[in-house]
Structure 1
């Protein structure tokens, strides 16, 4: 069954016939795009979804369809979470732990992409701080709520291929900042976090994976210069043509969210645990110049352990 899906599969196709009644699932970034669609399909199949968002008013408006399509037993509750503020992250995590209800799945979906150089509330480079460190603290603080059989799905990206993490200069204090270089670092970090989280928790029946949703037109791209993006797209298509591959194709939002629910629910834990998935399958190793596959540095277990230690040092908290 898990092998029947691919790049054009949608969330509802992946979850066809799946009953999620009684499951409780956390999804971050439910105020737009993939987060809303992920929450919608999960609630429509009976899950109780906890949706986290920085702007709750925006999230309430964006998730009207989630509530309208929720199956009996399914539903949505919203919690406030600003991943660019560790105070907000810790407050959110503390409230969830105090509530005490377990999670069967956490989908770390929220993020920023290719933004101008900036800092989070805690002084971290914006993309690394938001995409990686915010989720690192949130997930580790609520890990005790993950029951045996639970999974973590980190939304990474083919953008990890732009750059490895830089553990010596994570905040670009000595390195020239580029929007996609910083994005690549944060997405590699998302994968390495899943690798190490999986290693630490699999003996207790909790697994983790990372996914690339595909290229989708969502609010995530709001910082991108259209001309620069076209140059990048032209380069990708030129490389595809030279390799005899078809032009790059954007996915719909339901297609983009499909790999998240496939890897979190449909695929077997042993199939995806500690790995990186794309187009509803486990990605193959690839050191080429295109945007398909996984670079070896992103799955390096020693690199994953080193990132974990560096992340603990940066946030001032050990897990």
Structure 2
């Protein structure tokens, strides 16, 4: 596929001329930021969107524009889902299964970043438990609802470069906690989950991919101290200036949500299946040093055997086989 889009492309750019009438899409985390914009763009082009949120009242207020801009046939339905609680995950999945309506695309968008050390309701380290295990359990429980030709899109991050998963110590029981290492582990897990889900389901026509939305100022930064994000960007720009390169720019929310939408409903399935995407294209595998701004995906995040091992460990942790 010829790539027509890039880092500055927005959701409206990638969906230009595309009608999604008759499509049904599930998006997790629609109470703020990327989730709201993803839902808005899809509904505005005619899709029926089911959005999940931990706080339904907050999501109801945040998604007023989604309903206001929905095209004919487009809609938004909200359902309660707390990814930090397996009881909530299972209850939501059971309700969707009982409802029985199918999905063309599932976009696993919700997540937390650089959270202080803590645990989910089930005792998992907060970031790994919320970003990976919650979605792992939820998506696998509703996998039968994804139609042949459908897709799973996992939101990862360039933060996967900070750390590979630690299958032996996923909850930092034996190693010192670092919020960015924990975030990196969870984002690598998001990619590996997509790799193995794709392998398991592609024979029935369901593909999975992982995406990096880019650097965006959203509620995801709520655990950062005041000025931290600005300081990070400043440091990056000092390094870029020393190399004679243009300064780094944060993306707008519509630009940040564009890759999720592109990978879910625009790109060819065989192009993105089992891959990691960024800036509306498939990323190249790179061994470059950890960087917040360099493009590319680290090899360990796409390692098929690592993906199988994480799947097995995740099943052990949540107490279910998929």
Is TM > 0.5 for Structure 1 vs Structure 2?
Answer: yes
Q: How many residues align?
A: 319
> What is the match of residue 18 of structure 1?
18
Matching of residues 304-319 of structure 1 within 5 Å: 304-319=307-322
Q: Distance in 1 between matches of 2:285 and 2:242?
A: 20
Give the deviation of 1:230 after TM superposition. Answer: 4.1
Unaligned runs of 5+ in 1: none
Give the deviation of 1:231 after TM superposition. Answer: 4.2
Partner SS, residue 257 of structure 1: helix
Cα distance change of structure 1 residues 313 and 243 upon mapping to structure 2, 3 Å threshold: farther
> What is the match of residue 186 of structure 1?
186
> What is the match of residue 76 of structure 2?
76
Q: Distance in 1 between matches of 2:286 and 2:241?
A: 18
> What is the match of residue 139 of structure 2?
139
Unaligned runs of 5+ in 2: none
Q: Distance in 1 between matches of 2:178 and 2:129?
A: 15
Correspondence 1:3 to 2:3: yes
Contact conserved, 1:2 with 1:266, CA < 8 A, in 2? no
Q: Distance in 2 between matches of 1:128 and 1:262?
A: 26
Correspondence 1:265 to 2:265: yes
Contact conserved, 1:11 with 1:254, CA < 8 A, in 2? yes
Q: Distance in 2 between matches of 1:10 and 1:57?
A: 28
> What is the match of residue 66 of structure 2?
66
Correspondence 1:294 to 2:297: yes
> What is the match of residue 224 of structure 1?
224
Correspondence 1:102 to 2:102: yes
Give the deviation of 1:80 after TM superposition. Answer: 0.2
Q: Which of the numbers 287, 306, 310 marks the counterpart of 1:303? A: 306
- RMSD of equivalent CA atoms: 1.2
Give the deviation of 1:228 after TM superposition. Answer: 4.0
Matching of residues 192-271 of structure 1 within 5 Å: 192-271=192-271
1:69-109 Cα offsets, whole Å, 9 max, x none, are: 00111100000000000000000000000100000000000
Correspondence 1:174 to 2:177: no
Give the deviation of 1:240 after TM superposition. Answer: 2.9
Contact conserved, 1:149 with 1:205, CA < 8 A, in 2? yes
Give the deviation of 1:241 after TM superposition. Answer: 3.4
Contact conserved, 1:22 with 1:46, CA < 8 A, in 2? yes
Contact conserved, 1:53 with 1:79, CA < 8 A, in 2? yes
